[in-house]
Copies of this chain bind each other. A is one copy, B any other.
Amino acid sequence: MKLRIIVTLKNGVLDPQGKAIQHALGGLGFEGVEDVRAGKIFELELADSTSDAAVDEMCRKLLANTVIENYRVEKL
């Protein structure tokens, strides 16, 4: 089965990469860029027998830092 895991910074956590992109877009002449947040996405191909609990554990143990990041699992 194919999963997509989206990892984003929690609200309130500073995102310097996002801010840098926002300023760079402004510098390139794009107007009206009010906010940019950067995150990560992982596309996993897993054995069909993998349980939701195992996927959750993968996220918490390796893919996301749950102190500062949220994650979301989407089945494709």
Contact = CB atoms under 8 A, between A and B. Distances in A.
Contact of A32 (B35, B39, B49): B49
A30 B45 contact: no
A47 B62 contact: no
A2 to B, nearest CB: 9
Interface in A55-70: 57-58, 61-63
A63 B36 CA distance: 11
Interface of A: 6, 8, 18, 21, 24-25, 28, 30-47, 49-50, 54, 57-58, 61-63
Given A38-B40, A41-B41, 6 more contacts: A8-B43, A21-B63, A25-B62, A32-B50, A36-B44, A40-B40
